[in-house]
Structure 1
Amino acid sequence: MSVERVVRRLRDDLDDAGLRGSFLVRDVHNGDEIGIEPDIEYPIASLVKLPLALATLDRIRAGELDGGEPVRVDPGDMIVAGPTGLSRFRHPAYVAIDDLLYLSMSISDNTATDILFGLTPPDDVAASMRASGFHGISVRHPIRDISETVAAQLQPADAHLAYSLAAEAGTSGRGHRIPQLDVTVANSGTARAFVDLLQALWKPSGLDPWTAERVRALMAGNVFRQRLAPDFSSDATKWSSRTGSLLNLRHEVGVVEHADGQVFAVAALTESRVPAFIQPAAEAVMGRVARTLRDQVRVM
């Protein structure tokens, strides 16, 4: 089957699952790639934790920050709602900057993330990305701004109203009535921009080798493995990634390393028109689409 027919079939699969998606898979070594609308800009939700980690680690490497410095975290102070991590703590705690990075990247701790943004503000993270030669990822605000959506103001029984608004209130220019979903004001990026970043992290590039290795290790520890991981994890592969979720957005970017030496960067950014947060079938389709694109690139 030709690549064009495969891509058309995958578009249909996404549509049947209620998804619109932007995908890109690239062979890290030779640059071969196949995508589905890889240059469409999306709000990136928790994918912003990846450029934040990169900027923070670069500052640690340069001696501007001490990774072992403890930061006091008090319940109710700088707390950002989230299902895991420091927002669940009941008592004051001291957490080193290095460990805040682990919490942010591996268990997607939003409070840890915003403490790190307090040390390296969004404008500085954006400047660090530009200085490293990465374009197409905009970092504009901390995680707290993402968490303050209309869904947070509704009772659980009415949450579907927020998801309906998220699915229906967008504009053709990627604007949105919900600011966190408007690419002109939200943290945003494209599948291509994230694949460019992943390739630089896994292949010798202008990034400092120590910084790149630390980011790879943090991505390898990601505990959220329900999305693309089932299609890329095996005894003969290693899957390292960062996920992002907000209202009707479901994203994951990562790298699959095969035992035979092949390495593929994968980015999957999607939005759903189904007014529900829990959609395991949609996530299964995301994984199948990404894996099929990988299979096509692998034999090019």
Structure 2
Amino acid sequence: MTVGRLLRTARETLRDAGLRGCLLVRDLDSGDELGLDDDVVLAVASLVKVPLAVATVDRIERGELDGATAVTVAPGRVRTPGPTGLSRFRHPATVAIDDLLYLSVAISDEGASDALFALTPPTVVADTLRRFGVDGISVRHRTRDLTDTPAERLAPEVHLAHSLAASATTAGQGHPVAQLDVGRANSGSARAFVELLHALWRPSRIPAVVAARVRELMGDNLLRQRLAPDFSSDSSRWSSKTGTLLNLRHEVGVVEHADGQAYAVAALSESTVPAAVQPQAEAALAQVARELHDALRAARR
């Protein structure tokens, strides 16, 4: 199949699932890549926890923070579906910074992430990315803001929130929901996240010990309903981070094959279907990401 036909078929698969997809797959050794609207900037939801982890681990390694320091986290008392971990706790909890990192990345815990943001604010995270030469990712607010959306205010009529999310985006990617407005939200493109993944998996300006710890955290990701079914096997390792908010369904990660080849994958998407649960969309996004990956991998053989 030609590249042009592959991309046309990919668009059709996503469109049939009610998705607009922005994807990029890159061979981390050759630099060869295949993408689909990979420079489009979208709100990134919980994908911001990867830059947060990079900045936090870097501060630990530079002696500005001690990973063993205990932090008391106030209860989140969140009752709407979605948030996990400390965000749902009813009572205060005391957790070490190292363990907050695990909770933030592995189970996408908003409470743990905001405890880390309290130590390393969004502006510092953004500055850290720039210092490491990673551009195109804007870090503007804490993750607590992700739990104050129309989905919470309109519960249990959650379909109304998803209808607003899917229909109100402007041509310039503005949006009345702040968390979906790329001018106000944490934002980035598939290409920007592939650049970050490349810098974490191959030698770069990110210190090797920092990159290794973040790779370990992403390898422990427990949210595996999106791309993992198409990338995990006995002969490959899938390390990733998901991001989900209203009509946004994202995942970025790296698949490392037993033969030594490794591919960075960034799949960002927004749905036009006003529903919270969309297994067809999850499957379609993974299918397209895998097809792009397989085309690149086949080209090396």
State the TM-score bracket (shorter-chain normalisation). Answer: over 0.9
Letter in 1 for 2:14: L
| 1:90 shift after superposition | 3.3
Provide the secondary structure at the position in 2 that maps to 1:135: coil
Contact 1:23–1:266 (CA under 8 A) maintained in structure 2: yes
> Quick check: 1:80–1:147 contact (8 Å CA) kept in 2?
no
Q: Distance in 2 between matches of 1:139 and 1:91?
A: 29
Match status 1:243 vs 2:242: yes
Q: CA deviation at 1:76?
A: 5.2
Change (3 A) 1:267 1:80: farther
Q: TM-score, normalised to structure 2's length?
A: 0.97
Q: Distance in 2 between matches of 1:38 and 1:233?
A: 23
In 1, Cα distance between the equivalents of 2:79 and 2:67?
22
Q: Which amino acid aligns with 1:241?
A: S
Distance 1:124 1:220 in 2: 25
Letter of the 2:18 partner, please give it: G
Q: Which residue of 1 aligns with 2:110?
A: 110
Corresponding residue for 1:75?
A: 75
2:29 corresponds to 1:24: no
Structure 2 gaps of 5+ residues are none
Aligned partners of 1:80 and 1:87 also within 8 Å: no
Q: Is the contact between residue 80 and residue 111 of structure 1 (CA under 8 Å) also seen in structure 2?
A: no
Large movers: runs of 4+ above 6 Å: none
**Residue identity in the other structure for 2:200:** L
Structure 1 residue 256: Cα displacement: 0.1
Q: What displacement does 1:207 show?
A: 1.0
Q: TM-score, normalised by structure 1?
A: 0.97
Name stretches of at least 5 consecutive residues in structure 1 with no aligned partner: none
After the TM superposition, which residues 31-46 of structure 1 pair with which residues of structure 2 at under 5 Å, given as runs? 31-46=31-46
Q: Which moved more, 1:247-256 or 1:90-99?
A: 90-99
Q: Which moved more, 1:79-88 or 1:114-123?
A: 79-88
Instruction: Note the alpha carbon deviations across 1:153-211, whole angstroms, 9 max, x for none.
Output: 0121x110110010100100111111111100000000000001101111111110100
Number of matched pairs: 298
Q: Distance in 2 between matches of 1:105 and 1:155?
A: 27
- Residue 180 and residue 80 in structure 1: after superposition, are their counterparts in 2 closer, same or farther (change >3 A)? farther
Q: Are 1:52 and 2:52 matched, yes or no?
A: yes
The answer as to whether partners of 1:110 and 1:143 remain within 8 angstroms in 2 is yes
**Corresponding residue number in structure 1 for 2:212:** 213
Correspondence for 2:142:
142
The answer to whether the Cα contact below 8 Å between 1:80 and 1:144 also exists between their aligned partners in 2 is no
Report the 3-state secondary structure (helix = DSSP H, G, I; strand = E; otherwise coil) of the residue aligned with 2:267: strand
CA distance in structure 1 between the aligned counterparts of 2:23 and 2:2, rounded to whole angstroms:
18
